[in-house]
Amino acid sequence: MNHRDVLKSIPAPERAALQKRSDAAGLAHLALYLAALALTGTWIASGAPFWWAALMPHGILLVFLFTLQHECTHDTPFASRWLNRLVGHLSGLVLVQPFTWFRHFHLAHHRHTNDPENDPELEGGPRPGSRRAWLWHVSGLPAWRGWIANLLQQAIAPRPAPYLPARALPKIRREARLMLGAYVVLIALFGWQLFWLWALPMLLGQPVLRLYLLAEHGRCPAVADMLSNTRTTFTNRLVRFLAWNMPYHIEHHSAPNVPFHKLPELHRLMAPHLKSTSPSYSGFTRDYFAGLD
């Protein structure tokens, strides 16, 4: 039984209910997330005792906006399309990742998950296969280099790719140029405050995101079945909140139209059929690292 068979086994009315999106659910989650960011950001900016201890959690909250931007590519966090697009663009500004480009990139990843020939996530080669490569990958430095190079490339002349339709290239170039202009304005207005509240925390938080993302498909087979080529990782409520329930990753890849707040329910229905799972992120990381040269 593959993921399509599992989804077909769910009664049609129940499948339809699972796909129902909600502005209220999305905005409530976003409000809590932004409140946490405001708390850590205020702690740092105020210079309160042990302010430096807030740099890492603040950075983790910033980099995990990636999971929100990722959800916005599917138009699922909110019922209103304009709200999904607005939040996706704003998240992209924080992440140095143009939303329009990323949307095409990510939807191609869904069409060709873990396919070494066609999955754009594997354009740079396979996932780390040695301890040295793993350390370099987890540092987040290759990701930063790639994002900055990609932003500049898109601003100058978007590079054609199989997943980028020609009609999207002017919009991608315009968005990248607007982002670069926004960074110039923000630097002029806030100067070194951006280093302490954005750049440094992002650098500190990036390894946590790299470890999280590696578990999504790392060591999964290159097959078409989402029950196998994607991993669901069991974790606590805090991580699921941080990642907008994306640890239920098989469920998300099997039915990307199901919004984040419905994924726990979809997991309950699909749980007996999941093939690639891990009991925890620490367990996955330990096993992955132990298998490296």
pLDDT in tens, 203-234: 999 999 999 999 999 999 999 999 999 999 99
pLDDT, mean of residues 27-52: 97
**Own/partner pairs, 128-136, CB within 8 angstroms, 24+ separation:** 128/214, 128/292, 129/292, 129/293, 130/292, 130/293, 131/289, 131/292, 131/293, 133/292, 134/288, 134/289, 134/292
Q: Please classify residue 138 by burial: count the beta carbons closer than 10 Å to its beta carbon, then call 0-12 exposed, 13-18 middle and 19+ buried.
A: buried
pLDDT in the model for residue 12: 95
pLDDT-based confidence at residue 51 (cuts at 50, 70, 90): very high
Does residue 293 carry a pLDDT above 90? no
- Dump pLDDT digits (tens) for 185-205: 999 999 999 999 999 999 999
pTM assigned to the model = 0.96
Q: Which of 24, 131, 129, 32 is nearest to 78 (CA)?
A: 24
Buried (b) or exposed (e) across 47-69, using 16+ Cβ within 10 A? eeeeeeebbebbbbbbbbbbbbb
Contact by Cβ (8 Å): 289, 244: no
Average pLDDT on 256-276 reads 97
The pLDDT value given to residue 37: 98
Question: How sure is the predictor about 61, in pLDDT bands with cuts at 50, 70 and 90?
Answer: very high
CA distance linking residue 164 with residue 279, whole number of Å: 36
41 band by pLDDT with thresholds 50, 70 and 90: very high
Flag whether pLDDT at 149 surpasses 80.
yes
Q: Quick one: pLDDT band at residue 160, thresholds 50, 70, 90?
A: confident
Give the residue from 226, 230, 228 showing the smallest Cα distance to 216: 230
How confident is residue 154, by pLDDT bands cut at 50, 70 and 90?
very high
For residue 208, what pLDDT is reported?
98
Q: Which helix (H) or strand (E) holds 188?
A: helix 169-190
Q: Tell me the pLDDT of the chain averaged across its residues.
A: 96
pLDDT at position 159:
83
**Is the pLDDT confidence value at 125 over 80?**
no
Average pLDDT over residues 107-115: 95
pLDDT score recorded for residue 195: 97
| pLDDT for 124 beyond 90 | no
231-253 pLDDT per residue, tens: 999 999 999 999 999 999 999 99
CA-nearest of 144, 172, 147, 178 to 157 is 172
Q: In this structure, what token pair is assigned to residue 152? A: 């500049």
The residue behind tokens 């909140």 is: 241
Q: Is the pLDDT of residue 164 over 80?
A: yes
